[in-house]
């Protein structure tokens, strides 16, 4: 354990039914793989108490909350005040995930954009990083992120980045971060790996999006935070770095973006 480089799963969903009754083992698996921190993401605000309880019960786990764009039309519209109030919890470290998804839910584009702007304002007010889900909506995403950043700066990670080189460039121009998921390790994802290779390595995070998108050799199976290590090893190859060096770099990047997690001290 002591010789295993430490990394952080910057985005997972530990409240999903896939992990029910197994969290102690899942977190043990993660720490044994060097994954010493996890950020579990609440995608519907009515589930926030459950997600918060997971973070409170497990020392390595932090959390974030927001309304997922694919749920934006089905959930009550979040308010900035509601998100700001949630953010006062000591282990609440990010706003989201929010964003735009026109792949399956283009019919709710208008409400998705309204929800996105609410979450951005909460990030601006709290100073916590925004966690963005983007799929099949690159133009609107780039435009809104830039517009709002001009209004008031905020920090952001493009979670599970698998979009275009143009959106990557637009995000980087705002000072944002891109997160590598298991998709980056899929054999047919060379184009995506090429995009990542063109990104400054100090803007890269790693994640699982567990229980989804397990990297090889677990592709097609349930993902879990321990498998962040497989994606990070592929990331080290992409950046032509040793694994320990790449792991240390992603840790520094996470600490720079998720400052509240980096400085968290458990109550005595």
CA angle 64, 68, 74 (to 5 degrees): 130
Flag whether pLDDT at 104 surpasses 80.
yes
pLDDT-derived band of residue 1, with 50, 70 and 90 as boundaries? Answer: very low
The CA-based dihedral angle spanning residues 7, 10, 14, 19, taken in that order and rounded to the nearest 10 degrees = -50
Section 84-97 average pLDDT: 98
Residues 6 or more apart in contact with residue 181 via CB below 8 angstroms: 11, 159, 160, 161, 162, 206, 207, 208, 209, 213, 215, 231
What percent of the chain has pLDDT above 70?
99
Report d(CA 156, CA 178) in Å as an integer.
9
pLDDT for the residue numbered 268:
46
**265 vs 69: which has the higher pLDDT:** 69
The full length of the chain comes to 268
Between the CA of residue 59 and those of 11, 56, 142, 214, what are the distances in Å? 16, 7, 36, 24
pLDDT in tens, 175-214: 999 999 999 999 999 999 999 999 999 999 999 999 999 9
Section 245-264 average pLDDT: 98
Domain 7-262: which topology?
Answer: TIM Barrel (3.20.20)
Mean pLDDT (the chain) is: 97
Section 166-183 average pLDDT: 98
Q: Which two tokens stand for residue 181?
A: 């998921």
pLDDT in tens, 106-164: 999 999 999 999 999 999 999 999 999 999 999 999 999 999 999 999 999 999 999 99
Q: Which two tokens stand for residue 20?
A: 């029910």
* SS3 label, residue 132: strand
pLDDT for the residue numbered 129:
98
Between the CA of residue 183 and those of 90, 100, 201, 230, 244, what are the distances in Å? 31, 19, 18, 11, 21
pLDDT for the residue numbered 267:
65
Report d(CA 84, CA 128) in Å as an integer.
10
pLDDT in tens, 213-229: 999 999 999 999 999 99
pLDDT for the residue numbered 23:
98
pLDDT for the residue numbered 2:
56
Section 253-263 average pLDDT: 98
HSE-up of 116 (CA within 13 Å, CB side)?
Answer: 26
Flag whether pLDDT at 27 surpasses 70.
yes
The strands making up 7-12's β-sheet, listed across from edge to edge, are 7-12, 35-42, 61-65, 92-101, 130-135, 156-158, 177-180, 204-206
pLDDT for the residue numbered 125:
98
Domain boundaries defined on the chain: 7-262
Report d(CA 90, CA 73) in Å as an integer.
30
Flag whether pLDDT at 73 surpasses 60.
yes
């Amino acid at each position: 354990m002591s010789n295993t480089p430490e990394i952080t799963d910057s985005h997972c969903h530990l409240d999903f039914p896939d992990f029910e009754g197994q969290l102690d083992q899942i977190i043990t698996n993660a720490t044994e793989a060097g994954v010493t921190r996890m950020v579990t993401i609440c995608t519907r605000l009515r589930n926030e108490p459950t997600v918060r309880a997971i973070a409170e019960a497990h020392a390595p786990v932090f959390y974030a909350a927001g309304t997922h764009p694919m749920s934006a039309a089905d959930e009550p519209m979040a308010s900035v005040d509601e998100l700001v109030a949630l953010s006062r919890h000591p282990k609440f470290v990010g706003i989201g995930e929010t964003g735009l998804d026109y792949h399956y839910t283009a019919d709710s584009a208008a409400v998705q954009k309204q929800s996105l702007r609410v979450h951005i304002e909460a990030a601006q007010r709290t100073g916590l990083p925004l966690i963005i889900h983007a799929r099949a909506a690159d133009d609107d995403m780039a435009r809104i992120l830039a517009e709002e950043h001009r209004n008031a700066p905020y920090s952001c990670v493009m979670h599970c980045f698998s979009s275009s080189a143009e959106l990557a460039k637009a995000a980087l121009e705002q000072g944002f971060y891109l997160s590598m998921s298991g998709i980056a390790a899929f054999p047919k994802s060379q184009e995506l790996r090429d995009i990542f290779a063109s990104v400054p390595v100090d803007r890269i995070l790693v994640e699982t999006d567990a229980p989804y998108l397990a990297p090889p050799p677990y592709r097609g199976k349930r993902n879990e935070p321990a498998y962040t290590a497989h994606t990070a090893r592929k990331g080290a190859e992409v950046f032509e770095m040793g694994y320990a060096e790449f792991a240390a770099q992603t840790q520094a990047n996470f600490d720079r973006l998720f400052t509240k997690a980096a400085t968290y001290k458990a109550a005595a």
